[in-house]
Copies of this chain bind each other. A is one copy, B any other.
Amino acid sequence: MSAPLQIVALLFPNVTQLDLTGPAQVFSQFPDAEVHFAWRDRNPVPTDSGFSIVPTATFLEAPQADLLFVPGGAGAFELFEDDAALSFIAEQAAGAQFVTSVCTGSFALAAAGLLNGKRATSHWASLHMLEDFGAVPVRERVARDGHIITGAGISSGIDFALALAAELYDDRMARQIQLYIEYDPAPPFDAGSPFRPEADQQSVKERIASVTEHRSPMVARAAQRLRTES
């Protein structure tokens, strides 16, 4: 691996910002690493949470990534029609040691042709649709298939990034960062996935139905295009 370690994260409009900012907090503690937020230009990019984040590099300026990272959100599905973004992902992935995502960032990896036959995870409400891209959806908080590492929904990015700390450095580094960010979680409820006892099952059904209705046509088109091209 090169020194410094080059981490390139994709930053796009309507990103679910915690997908990106959770891991970014962990990455900021990696010794001898540089983190880049790449987008087509350096104008502030609106997130899903009412504020904007400024890219640190354009697609042309970003170095070759050792670790490529794609967060998720509604905007990840808009990337399906964005050739520049999909090409950036595919070209960066070809030279990266690790190709990674959190939440529905895995759909952008899939649309870039990177998940065919690969075990991958995603947000619980979208996970089933990964199959359309020929991926093998797995219900894991952090899933690994060779050099592809994917995290589940939104807040899982913290677990994902600590797993990367252990992989890229060692367990001690991961423990030190976990301590620093005081990641000793104490959720007020046991409701954090569809399979937890306090999960709101009506919410589960409604969100899966809504996500499937809105996103499955986009997924089907992108998967079709990928099959035609390859």
Contact = CB atoms under 8 A, between A and B. Distances in A.
A207 B181 CA distance: 12
A220 interface: no
Interface in A168-212: 171-172, 174-176, 178-189, 191-194, 196, 198-200, 203-204, 207
Contacts of A171: 189
Contacts of A18: 21-22, 24-25, 181
Given A48-B28, A188-B163, A189-B174, A180 B207 contact: yes
Contact of A21 (B21, B103, B123): B21
Nearest to A19: B25
Work out how many copies of this chain go into the complex: 2
Given A175-B189, A185-B187, A188-B163, A25 B17 contact: yes
A166 interface: yes
A189 B203 CA distance: 31
Contacts of A203: 176, 179-180
Contacts of A52: 53-54
27 contacts: A17-B24, A21-B22, A24-B51, A25-B49, A28-B50, A44-B44, A51-B53, A53-B53, A153-B180, A155-B183, A156-B182, A159-B188, A162-B188, A171-B189, A175-B198, A175-B200, A178-B188, A178-B192, A179-B193, A179-B194, A179-B203, A180-B203, A182-B193, A183-B187, A184-B187, A185-B185, A185-B187
